[in-house]
Structure formats: structure tokens, C-alpha cells
């Protein structure tokens, strides 16, 4: 049985750990409010921008726009967005696992894969793989739209040069404070919406005819680069909110585990102290009996 001093020392250490995890939980909760507000304010804009761009692209055919060029896919670039910091449960691991499965599937199909790692966790995970073309660590804590623009321009340049035929973004989407799931979407080439096989009425409603001023081509020239910026920034906002939510949950679980450990150690401490007192009483009684004899 451990000594009282050892058990008391362990209780003190676990209490200090509990104080740290509780503080980290509170910090994550405070940061989550701001990150979630930014993400929720931007999400409708990004989704409507995506819908508008794909509908707009349906009327142009994409022949005059290199960013809409659909070609045989021989090389794929994955933009993997994770956080810079850990201590957020399995959030980053789930994103990296999806990226690894996607890489394995694409390489199994005979396609070349390159990576753009956004966030320190993805950079550290893949840096020895030999597939990282570009990395952007230490930006997820304070990123702005210009960071997303830099990443979007880099990937677009690689696509236009013919180094890759398709660009996908893998990130963690925020569903709720308790649920964050890895997802991916195709960034390039920009494609019109696929036919869903709806009835004629549904098709007519979803493919209404619009009059554009200026022409669709002129609008597309301006909006295509902006579209890439918006979609990359959207993924970064989702990851930021998801990171703080996952860390808040992880630190809450850690605090509860510390409290359970303190209760168990306190029980051991009391049992050890009681055993010591019982032993001392036995020694006293034995000594008294020996004196009587």
C-alpha cells in the first residue's frame, strides 16, 4: 500500500492539473464565441456565393475560363486544413485520417497526389511524406482574408500551370459544440451544378433564365478568383470554430477525469491513514497486554 506522503503528493498534482484544464476550458469557451459568430455570419454568404457561381458557370460553358477547364485527372492537390495547436481531442486526427484515406484511394487509382498543408498539425503530420508542395503553419490563430487569398492564388497557379488537374479541400466542419466532422469539397475546376433528375417543373424552377449586365463572361472573370478566396476562407473559419469547440469539450472531459481521480486517490488516502491508525492501535493494545502479563 502506498505511503500517505505519496498519495497526498499525487492528489496535489492532480488538483493542479484540474486547475489548468478548467482554465483552458474557459479560454476555449471564450474564443469559441467569437469564432462561432464569425463562422455563422460567413457561412450563408459562402454557400450562396458557391450556388451563384455554379449556376452562373452553367451558362458560360467554361470554354473561355482556365479555372473551369475540366481535363483528365492525373494529378490531384489536396488542401488539408487543421489547427495549429493540439489538446482538442480527436478533431485533427479525424481530418488527417480522411486525408490519408483520400490519398490512398487516389494513388490506388494511379493518380499523383500533392498536398498544401494549412495549420501546423497537418504540416507536422505530412512533412516526411514527400507530398507536401506548400505549407502554411502558424496562421490558424490569427488568419484573415488575405491569408486565404494567398492560399487560393497558390493553388490556382498550380492548377493553371497544369501541375494538377483537380484541387480538393479537406477540413473540419462545425455542426455543433459537440459535433465536428471532417468533410471535403472540390475547389477546382469550378463546375456547374449536376442534373439531379428532378421533374420538369423542378428543373425549370432551378434553372431560371437571368439577364446579366455586364455579360456573364465579364462577371465570371471578376468573381472566379474571389470565389476561390471565399471558399478557402470559409473552410478556415469552420476549422477555427471546430477547434475551439473540440478543445472546450476535451478540457471539460479532462477536468471531470481529474475530479474522479482525486476522489479515488482521496479514498486510497483515507484507507491508508485508517490502516496506519489501526496498526498503531494494535501495537498499543499488544504492549498493554504484554505489561499485564
Catalytic residue among 88, 117, 164, 258: 88
Q: CA 261, CA 267: separation in Å to the nearest integer?
A: 10
Three-state SS at 67:
helix
Q: CA 226, CA 211: separation in Å to the nearest integer?
A: 21
Q: Which of 240, 153, 215 is nearest to 188 (CA)?
A: 153
Count CA atoms closer than 13 A to 4's CA, side-chain side: 8
Three-state SS at 172:
strand
117 in active site: no
Three-state SS at 77:
strand
The CB density around residue 21, as the number of other CB atoms within 10 Å, is 21
Three-state SS at 222:
helix
Q: CA 84, CA 117: separation in Å to the nearest integer?
A: 11
DSSP letters, 23-52, are HHHHHHHHHHHHHHHHHHHHHHHHHHHHHH
Angle between helices 216-292 and 91-108 in degrees, nearest 10: 130
Measured between alpha carbons, how far is residue 1 from residues 154, 267, 279, 289 in Å?
62, 13, 13, 28
Residue showing cell 498503531: 280
Q: CA 29, CA 33: separation in Å to the nearest integer?
A: 7
Q: Helices in the chain by DSSP H: which ranges?
A: 4-58, 91-108, 120-126, 145-160, 200-206, 216-292
Positions marked catalytic: 88
Amino acid at each position: 500500500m502506498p505511503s500517505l506522503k505519496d498519495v497526498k503528493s499525487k492528489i496535489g498534482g492532480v488538483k493542479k492539473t484540474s486547475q489548468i484544464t478548467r482554465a483552458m476550458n474557459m479560454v476555449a469557451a471564450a474564443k469559441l464565441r467569437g469564432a462561432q459568430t464569425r463562422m455563422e455570419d460567413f457561412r450563408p454568404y459562402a454557400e450562396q456565393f458557391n450556388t451563384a457561381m455554379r449556376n452562373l458557370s452553367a451558362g458560360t460553358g467554361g470554354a473561355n475560363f482556365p479555372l473551369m477547364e475540366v481535363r483528365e485527372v492525373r494529378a490531384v492537390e489536396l488542401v488539408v486544413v487543421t489547427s495549429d495547436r493540439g489538446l482538442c481531442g480527436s478533431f485533427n486526427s479525424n481530418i488527417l485520417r480522411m486525408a490519408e484515406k483520400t490519398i490512398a484511394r487516389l494513388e490506388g487509382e494511379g493518380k499523383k497526389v500533392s498536398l498544401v498543408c494549412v495549420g501546423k498539425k497537418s504540416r507536422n503530420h505530412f512533412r516526411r511524406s514527400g507530398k507536401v508542395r506548400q505549407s502554411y503553419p502558424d496562421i490558424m490563430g490569427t488568419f484573415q482574408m488575405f491569408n486565404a487569398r494567398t492560399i487560393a492564388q497558390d493553388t490556382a497557379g498550380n492548377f493553371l500551370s497544369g501541375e494538377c488537374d483537380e484541387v480538393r479541400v479537406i477540413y473540419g466542419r462545425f455542426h455543433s459544440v459537440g459535433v465536428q466532422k471532417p468533410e471535403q469539397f472540390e475547389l477546382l475546376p469550378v463546375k456547374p451544378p449536376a442534373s439531379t433528375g428532378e421533374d420538369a417543373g423542378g428543373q425549370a424552377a432551378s434553372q431560371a433564365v437571368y439577364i446579366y449586365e455586364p455579360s456573364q463572361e465579364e462577371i465570371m472573370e471578376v468573381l472566379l478568383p474571389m470565389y476561390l478566396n471565399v471558399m478557402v476562407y470559409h473552410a478556415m473559419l469552420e476549422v477555427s470554430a471546430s477547434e475551439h469547440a473540440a478543445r472546450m469539450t476535451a478540457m471539460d472531459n479532462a477536468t471531470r477525469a481529474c475530479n474522479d481521480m482525486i476522489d479515488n486517490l482521496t479514498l486510497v488516502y483515507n484507507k491508508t491513514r485508517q490502516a496506519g491508525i489501526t496498526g498503531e492501535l494494535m501495537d498499543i493494545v499488544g504492549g498493554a497486554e504484554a505489561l499485564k502479563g
